[in-house]
A and B are shown apart, each in its own frame.
Chain A
Amino acid sequence: MRTLSTRRRHPLAGLLVLAVGLLITGGLYAAVAPKAATAEESASTSDIEAGRQLFLVGCASCHGVNAQGINTEGADGEPGNYGPPLIGVGAAAVDFQVGTGRMPMAQTAPQAPRKADEYTDEETAQLAAYIASLAPGPQIPEERYLDWESVDEEGLAEGGEFFRTNCTACHNSVGAGGALPNGRYAPSLDGVEAKHIYEAMQTGPQQMPVFSDDVITPEEKLKVIAYIKTISEQPSYGGVNGGSLGPVVDGVWVWVVALGSLVGFAIWIGWHGTRTKKR
């Protein structure tokens, strides 16, 4: 004890106490706090490396060589970014953005449109592995959360309720899409893979809010997917539906097709009289 008490005024004693305090606090926090997600471990080192090479060629010009993002100053002095940082976005975000062709972007625009993908499935997986290796983030969903055909009728109705409550305001009641301010839009959900719908809910790409697993559980996400898939694959019971865009399309049909043809008939009827020829 003497050795300790004689050294208690040592210049480094304070630092030591601070270090011990920090260690205890940190240790306790690590033991008690909820377990954080861990970085993708299943991906092989070679995949990560291949992904890094692809990233350096195709993505780094906007997202930075270490995926840290490139910051700029916007026209109005607001901080902006040329490409956002990708550290922590997770494999799900990469799989969604690259798998639906949104990334790489063809040009700067309010929003990246869905287009044919530039990378093969294997390359997409390698890119995802690389990004996932940088920091933990949402992962590509498991197969059992994508098998929407297994959802029963009750689940389908429940998925519909979720869809109408959370999604239709932007995506329209059949997922035909809708406009948002300043040239942005909620894209059509027609023909989007179940996996990508799941990932979009999970990562909230572009204008979309994030629906994390705490808000909508994976099982509920599956029900939403089942509802979207069911209504977009069901036949159009009433005939040609004009993109399910609502009454605007009805107005076009009635003026062009119905009234157009009836005016044609009226001209035909009006033309068939002996006196009209003399007019």
Chain B
Amino acid sequence: MSQTYTPVERTATGKKLAGPVGWLDERLGLAGPAKKNLRKVFPEHWSFMLGEVALWSFVVLLITGVFLTLWFDPSMAETTYTGSYRPLNGVEMSVAYASSLDISFDIRGGLLLRQMHHWAAHLFIAAMFVHMLRVFFTGAYRKPRELNWLIGLGLLMLGILGGFSGYSLPDDLLSGTGLRIADGMIKSIPLIGTHVSFFLFGGEFPGDQIIGRLYMVHILLIPALLLGLIAAHMLLLVYHKHTQFPGPGRTNENVVGYPALPVYIAKAGGFFFIVFGVIASMAALFTVNAVWIYGPYNPAEVTAGSQPDWYMGFAEGALRIFPPLEWSWFGSTWAMSVFIPGLGFLGLLFVALGVWPFIERAITRDEREHHLLERPRNNPTRTGLGVAGMTWFGLLWIGGGNDVIALKFGLDLNAITWFLRVGIFVGPVIAFIVTRRICISLQRKDNEVLTHGYETGVIDRSPDGGYSERHAALPIEKQYAVTSAKERPKAIEAPELVDENGVDAPRSRRERLRHRMRRFYYFGSGAVDKPTAEDMAHAEEHLRGSNEHPIELGEDFQGVSETGVPRVH
């Protein structure tokens, strides 16, 4: 079937646009790069769209944020509220809080936009987290993408800071309590903490400066940094090309997928409206941060159920479960029970994430570029470490909501605390071991299906009454995808412990450590090799010979699902 195309410059639209487009090209010279990049190919997988959720949430944040700045007044001056919300009428409060109430009750569409802004913030950070997990578990951060991983980490940190500064702006009882905790964390920094706190707050907490300062951080500094880093993140993405999952025709040198124009422009553009729609629906249907119920901030008051927004929950949890530990040295208080969990755990998380690609590379000494993703099961150690980290984070996160959990599930608050104090050490270890075992079992399952075929669900009865299930070979594309996804385990060379003269080599201790780490990384709980070509040939013969009527796979066969059931079934 042959099709004829009319060159675009000869179509009616082309003739009309030739003038203005030519005018632009003569001045900007964009035709060349645009032609190349608009046809840029991206691979297709649902998990590649998680980062897009974050990007579009950020766009929603910018749009709704601009709207909110029209009415929000970041002043800590005292005023008496006289708006529509009856229970607070006549109450003394800050102008910032009064204007938050006005946005919620007296400005048309204000509450919807405020809630959209807040939900978009929650979603922005949640999407960044899951995007990061996807990148981690598929090994997409490996060479040459380590720097983009660090930029992503920077985006996550800035996102959290942006969220926290926004959380503090309405100056209600909840946000003031959050600020007080931040103030406590800052003050817990040994020796300089109090000075830093006085500097930031312009005097003793809460002062009358902080809202205005946070407002500048929230609407100028952080968005500007975020925009710059997002641009860098995306440019590097285009420069490196997107990673892809292994499959027929997919190699480390190519990208199999669709061009940006028209396919991904349409898909991504459409996805923006879906993200916008989900956020708008959330804002219309679910309350988020009902500032009016908390009342104005007053350092003497507090409300039960005071929590940070979810992304700070783990740091809050660390603070809640940490045992008391405080020293008094040289006339200075060292509040370790605030400093270690508050700033230490936060730092630990980000430092661990930041150095991981480099630690992994030091262990593997893998100098190759990786454009093909790894299936999480094919790297049990990394997947196990990732799940261990998630478990650690999750347990601390539970700690952040321990009062709500105790109240709603009828549990003992102290018992939860003790469970978590032990759990954050034991839980990750258990999670690591279990995950690694599961990964290895899944690899074995892959080998089993490759060499013995999948279960067809067709039951034969033999003349003597026995029953057996027919197995059939996987389609060749699937076989290829599964086997090519996996590298053979590395040969582990013994470290050189002595030099040519028989003297202990100067680097031998480090070599020995690296050797041990390498063994742990690749063979920690027994590596599973993939079937060889011979195994596969043998399997084919075996599957053909096992019954006289091999299962005919129709044209519409789409492979089998994870459980081994054909998709068309």
Contact = CB atoms under 8 A, between A and B. Distances in A.
A253 B301 CA distance: 28
Contacts of A251: 122, 309-310, 313, 401
A178 interface: yes
Given A160-B295, A258-B282, A169 B302 contact: yes
Contacts of B309: 247, 250-251
B284 interface: yes
B140 to A, nearest CB: 16
A270 B248 CA distance: 18
Contact of B287 (A170, A230, A239, A279): A239
B46 interface: yes
Contacts of B278: 258, 261-262, 265
B252 interface: no
A203 to B, nearest CB: 21
Contacts of B558: 277
B90 A154 contact: yes
B181 to A, nearest CB: 13
B18 to A, nearest CB: 33
Interface stretch (B21-29, B62-70, B266-274): B266-274
Given A185-B407, A230-B87, A279-B247, A254 B49 contact: no
Nearest to A249: B404
A263 interface: yes
Interface string B112-142: 0001001100110011001000000000000
B87 A179 contact: no
B50 A255 contact: no
B406 A179 contact: yes
B310 A239 contact: no
Contacts of A52: none
A247 B285 contact: no
A165 B52 CA distance: 45
A216 interface: no
B86 A230 contact: yes
B476 to A, nearest CB: 11
Interface in B370-415: 400-404, 406-408, 410-415
Nearest to B313: A251
Contacts of B153: none
A258 B304 contact: no
A246 B404 contact: yes
B274 A179 contact: no
A213 to B, nearest CB: 23
A273 B91 CA distance: 59
A150 to B, nearest CB: 15
A277 B568 CA distance: 11
B107 interface: no
A173 B477 contact: no
B104 interface: yes
Interface in A211-239: 227, 230-231, 234, 236-239
A277 to B, nearest CB: 6
Nearest to B413: A179
A221 B335 CA distance: 40
Given A182-B414, A230-B86, A263-B46, A246 B406 contact: no
B413 A231 contact: no
Given A245-B404, A265-B274, A277-B558, A169 B301 contact: yes
Contacts of B289: 247, 250
A78 B393 CA distance: 40
A177 B407 contact: yes
A266 B286 contact: no
Given A276-B44, A278-B477, A262 B122 contact: no
A234 to B, nearest CB: 8
Contacts of B248: 278
Contacts of A259: 53, 123, 126-127, 130
Contacts of A278: 248, 477
Contacts of B44: 270, 273, 275-276
A198 B489 CA distance: 73
Contacts of A234: 87
Contacts of A271: 46
Contacts of A183: 406, 410-415
A246 B307 contact: yes
A179 B412 CA distance: 8
B14 to A, nearest CB: 28
B2 interface: no
A241 B290 contact: yes
A200 to B, nearest CB: 16
Contacts of B271: 265-266, 269
B246 to A, nearest CB: 10
A183 B417 CA distance: 12
A164 interface: yes
Nearest to A160: B87
B307 A258 contact: no
Contacts of A157: 87-91
A186 interface: yes
A164 B295 CA distance: 8
A1 B481 CA distance: 126
A240 interface: yes
Contacts of A180: 413
B112 to A, nearest CB: 9
Given A157-B90, A168-B302, 18 more contacts: A153-B86, A157-B88, A173-B293, A182-B414, A227-B87, A230-B86, A236-B290, A239-B284, A239-B286, A242-B286, A248-B305, A251-B313, A253-B286, A258-B282, A267-B46, A273-B263, A278-B248, A279-B559
Q: Which 5 A-B pairs have the closest CB atoms?
A: A178-B304, A251-B310, A238-B287, A270-B46, A179-B406
Interface of A: 110, 153-154, 156-157, 160-161, 164-165, 168-174, 176-183, 185-186, 227, 230-231, 234, 236-251, 253-255, 257-259, 261-263, 265-267, 269-271, 273, 275-279
7 contacts: A169-B302, A182-B414, A240-B285, A240-B286, A244-B293, A251-B401, A265-B271
